[in-house]
């Protein structure tokens, strides 16, 4: 499973990209707005840090507007993925962008039926938001399982399942077991994933043993 970093903080992206485990980045206008920087400048800088897909979201709600916004974004770098909402106009835009050879990430997916429509429109990725379903009292990961199973029934679908709205490391584990192609993860979740008490205690014991062995050798 690929791991994308879900942030627009360039310094965070540099830090976690250095781990060697980041395959791409997802952003949205809200995340970039918080930085106070120009949207296109941030996307271009991220593309220079991570050699993988970088999702850049359009804000228009009509297909023509989405296509107009997508054109300069796609021109920034070959790795830019145009992120569009899962609405009828978004499907229209996705179909046309796919025809033009532009990769897309159809976002705000909350049902398997929506995911089927995204695949039919030629989406490169579909982003089901599992955390928001959990907030509604549903089991968001059940949606991932349904979409993965449905897509496997139709090998001609090239759309990849990108698990979004990830809230815990458990979400990542379940996404991997379900066979999702990608999980986009906030930095805090990556920090959670890399830590384990037994790793810390084991390392501390190893270093203590090493120090004692060196002290004994020097005495």
The one-character DSSP state at 200 is H
Report the C-alpha gap between 152 and 205 in whole angstroms: 46
Report the C-alpha gap between 107 and 34 in whole angstroms: 20
- What are the Cα distances from residue 169, in Å, to 17, 50, 184? 18, 22, 11
3-class secondary-structure state, position 5: strand
Report the C-alpha gap between 56 and 47 in whole angstroms: 11
Report the C-alpha gap between 46 and 106 in whole angstroms: 20
Tell me if residue 120 is catalytic.
no
> How many Å is the Cα radius of gyration of the chain?
20
Q: Residues 83, 92, 95, 103: which is the catalytic one?
A: 83
Q: Which two tokens stand for residue 31?
A: 């995340």
Catalytic residues: 83
């Amino acid at each position: 499973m690929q791991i994308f970093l879900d942030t627009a903080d360039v310094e965070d992206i540099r830090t976690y990209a250095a781990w060697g485990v980041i395959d791409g980045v997802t952003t949205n206008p809200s995340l970039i707005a918080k930085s106070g920087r120009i949207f296109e400048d941030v996307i271009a800088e991220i593309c220079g840090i991570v050699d993988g897909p970088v999702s850049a979201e359009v804000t228009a709600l009509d297909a023509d507007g989405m296509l107009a916004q997508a054109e300069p974004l796609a021109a920034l770098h070959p790795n830019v993925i145009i992120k569009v909402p899962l609405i009828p106009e978004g499907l229209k835009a996705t179909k046309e962008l796919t025809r033009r050879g532009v990769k897309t990430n159809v976002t705000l997916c909350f049902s398997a039926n929506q995911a089927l429509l995204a695949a039919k429109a030629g989406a490169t990725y579909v982003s089901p938001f599992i955390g928001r379903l959990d907030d509604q009292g549903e089991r968001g990961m059940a949606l991932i399982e349904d979409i993965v199973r449905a897509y496997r029934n139709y090998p001609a679908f090239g759309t990849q399942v990108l698990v979004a709205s990830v809230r815990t490391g458990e979400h990542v584990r379940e996404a991997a077991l379900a066979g999702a192609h990608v999980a986009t993860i906030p930095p805090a979740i990556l920090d959670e994933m890399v830590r384990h008490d037994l790793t810390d205690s084991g390392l501390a014991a190893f270093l203590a043993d090493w120090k004692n062995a060196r002290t004994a050798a020097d005495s």
